């Protein structure tokens, strides 16, 4: 019987990934162990998951525990969506950098917010991986928690577990591109690689025709289309290629769009299009809304959504368990896969899935301008992981000094002061740095 342990079962990902797993053809039963340190959110997640199990007429055994070691033994797959004190700290992650002129939209991947999230999240994650090496050393680790590249880089440097980082930005963006180009998704041909949230569609064709001239023309002439992704269309105009993830995320990864208020006004829009403090202002509300939604489902006042999602977890499980060949885009170690990005760091490339596991595929060199943008982010990821693994305060400061947006706004002395304030505000949630 297949056993899956789900870490961070109170998250919004839990109902999505669970229903996908329950609908894998031929896998109508197994054991799903839900783990969360919040007993009430775990209770809600378990009851809601049981309802989905019943409605899909599958026979999965659903187990819940606040102690991961109680249920991890002999797991075939570990799915990770933990969040470490995010609701308690997201206000600090946004408001302290804002005092220094760094106005973030999301702040969970890079920049001040992403680095602080990594300092909170990676240490307990490494403890989880140690438990996995002891209790289920043959399991596949599927990580969804951000900051993705930092989480995976720490994983590969500290653990022997078989692991891959999963996101939905490649799937989502490729579907967006089909909509923007007004062609059937199944007919759009593309290749995509880079780093998480900054992977590039280096080829984009429809029935043999290069669609990039079409996309650029449409975006320049159609204001309504441009407004659906302003930052990413600007990147397309100036660097020649379309990038994954949202305009809001992308606006934080480069120095061009958020270093002055008037630039935010010009290029960014509300919500995922670049809204100021979007996550900080909404995260607690989203968390509360998710709990309320689960309560309504449990009470029979709302039907759960049983449609399969675009997430990769179930495709990986299906491919490995049944030897059904699938292709996903995963975050893996760069072992020559993209030669002009740093080796032995984390890249996002197409991976083949079969009974023998997850097989990253060679992509080749990225256009040099795109590789340069990726490297600017990868330098921050590398230094952040070094800071965590060495418990070095100075390296953490230097990671922030390397951040493209922060360094475009602040002097070195200002960055030191900003980091000192962030560390003081959040030190209760971070292992002590020396």
Q: What is the spatial distance between Cα 231 and Cα 235, in angstroms, rounded to a whole number?
A: 6
Whole-angstrom CA distances from 57 to 104, 405, 423 are: 44, 50, 49
Residue 385: partners with Cβ closer than 8 Å, 6 or more residues away:
118, 122, 150, 153, 154, 157
Q: Closest Cα partner for 219 from 233, 206, 208?
A: 233
Q: Which two tokens stand for residue 97?
A: 């950098």
- Helical spans, DSSP H, in 304-367: 313-322
- Helical spans, DSSP H, in 23-110: 39-55, 86-99
Q: What is the spatial distance between Cα 197 and Cα 170, in angstroms, rounded to a whole number?
A: 8
Is the CB of residue 87 less than 8 Å from the CB of residue 283? yes
Q: Which residues are catalytic?
A: 168
Q: What is the DSSP string of 109-126?
A: SSHHHHHHHHHHHHHHHH
Q: What is the spatial distance between Cα 194 and Cα 184, in angstroms, rounded to a whole number?
A: 25
Cis peptide before 356 (omega within 30 of 0): no
| Residue 313: other Cβ atoms inside 10 A | 25
Element at 357 (helix H, strand E)? strand 357-360
Q: What is the spatial distance between Cα 233 and Cα 220, in angstroms, rounded to a whole number?
A: 9
Q: What is the DSSP string of 130-175?
A: HHHHHH-TTPEEEE--SSHHHHHHHHHHH--SEEEE--SHHHHHHH
Q: What is the spatial distance between Cα 348 and Cα 32, in angstroms, rounded to a whole number?
A: 28
Q: What is the spatial distance between Cα 93 and Cα 109, in angstroms, rounded to a whole number?
A: 12
Q: What is the spatial distance between Cα 378 and Cα 388, in angstroms, rounded to a whole number?
A: 15
């Amino acid at each position: 019987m297949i056993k899956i342990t789900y870490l961070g079962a109170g998250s919004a990902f839990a109902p999505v990934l669970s229903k996908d797993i329950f609908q894998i053809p031929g896998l109508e039963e197994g054991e799903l162990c839900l783990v969360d340190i919040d007993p009430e959110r775990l209770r809600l997640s378990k009851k809601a998951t049981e309802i989905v199990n019943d409605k899909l007429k599958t026979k999965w055994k659903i187990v819940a525990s606040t102690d991961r070691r109680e249920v991890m033994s002999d797991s075939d797959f570990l799915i990770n969506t933990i969040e470490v004190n995010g609701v308690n700290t997201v206000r600090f992650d946004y408001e302290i950098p804002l005092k220094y002129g760094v106005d973030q939209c999301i702040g969970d991947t890079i920049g001040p917010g992403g680095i602080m999230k990594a300092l909170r999240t990676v240490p307990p994650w490494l403890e989880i991986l140690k438990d996995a090496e002891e209790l289920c050393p043959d399991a596949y680790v599927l990580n969804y928690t951000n900051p993705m590249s930092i989480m995976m880089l720490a994983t590969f440097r500290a653990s022997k577990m078989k692991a891959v980082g999963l996101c939905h930005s490649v799937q989502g963006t490729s579907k967006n591109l089909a909509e923007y180009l007004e062609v059937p998704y199944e007919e759009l041909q593309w290749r995509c690689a880079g780093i998480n949230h900054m992977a590039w569609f280096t080829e984009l064709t429809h029935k043999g025709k290069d669609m990039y001239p079409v996309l650029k023309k449409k975006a320049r002439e159609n204001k309504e289309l441009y407004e659906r992704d302003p930052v990413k269309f600007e990147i397309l105009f100036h660097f020649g290629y379309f990038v994954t993830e949202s305009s809001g995320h992308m606006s934080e990864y480069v120095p061009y769009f958020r270093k002055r208020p008037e630039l935010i006004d010009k290029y960014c829009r509300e919500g995922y299009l670049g809204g100021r403090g979007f996550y900080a202002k909404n995260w607690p509300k989203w968390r509360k809304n998710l709990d309320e939604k689960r309560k309504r489902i449990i009470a029979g006042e709302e039907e759960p959504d049983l449609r399969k999602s675009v997430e990769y977890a179930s495709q990986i499980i299906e491919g490995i368990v049944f030897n059904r060949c699938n292709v996903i885009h995963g975050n893996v170690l760069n072992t020559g896969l993209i030669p002009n990005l740093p080796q032995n760091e984390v890249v996002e490339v197409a991976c083949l899935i079969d009974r023998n596991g997850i097989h990253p595929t060679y992509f080749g060199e990225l256009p040099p301008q795109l590789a340069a943008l990726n490297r600017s982010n990868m330098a921050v990821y590398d230094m952040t992981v070094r800071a965590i693994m060495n418990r070095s305060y100075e390296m953490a400061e230097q990671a922030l000094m390397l951040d493209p947006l922060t360094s475009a706004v602040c002097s070195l002395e200002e960055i030191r002061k900003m980091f000192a304030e962030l560390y003081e505000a959040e030190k209760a949630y971070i292992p002590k740095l020396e």
